[in-house]
Structure 1
Amino acid sequence: MRNIKWVFVLYAFIATAAIMSIGIFIGEGSALGVVLAITALIVVMGLGFTTKKKMREKGQL
């Protein structure tokens, strides 16, 4: 448990919620919702990869 990077767990949950919301918005027929959910997914994934790179450069990973 001590090696868990909780920030990455948080990013994973948010990304999962964004993926699920894409399906929900498709089911509702909301094009705007789909676009916003995809945008949120891209932002969260980008933040995750950026955070990982910064932590790797600092030697924290």
Structure 2
Amino acid sequence: MGNIKWIFVLYSVLAAVSLMGVAISISLASPLLAAGSIIALTIIMGFGFTTKKRYREEGRL
């Protein structure tokens, strides 16, 4: 339990919030909010994968 990488928890929570944003935008019929949520999700996932690669290369995973 002490081996939690909190940055990955943060990325996961932010990605989940972005997905909720997509669902909310669909319910509100707001294409602008949907586009913003999808862009945010793409950026957050990109940061997560980049961080994971960097951690793996440094031997921290």
Q: Which runs of 4+ in 1 moved over 2 A?
A: none
Give the Å deviation of 1:2: 1.2
TM-score (norm 2): 0.97
Q: Give the TM-score, by structure 1 length.
A: 0.97
Sequence identity, in percent?
49
- Number of aligned positions between the proteins: 61
Which segments of 5 or more consecutive residues in structure 1 lack a partner in the other structure?
none
1:5-61 deviation line (CA, Å, top 9, x unaligned): 000000000000000110000110110000000000000000000000000000000
Give me the CA root mean square deviation.
0.5
Q: What secondary structure sits across from 1:17 in the alignment?
A: helix
Aligned pairs for 1:1-61 (under 5 A) are 1-61=1-61
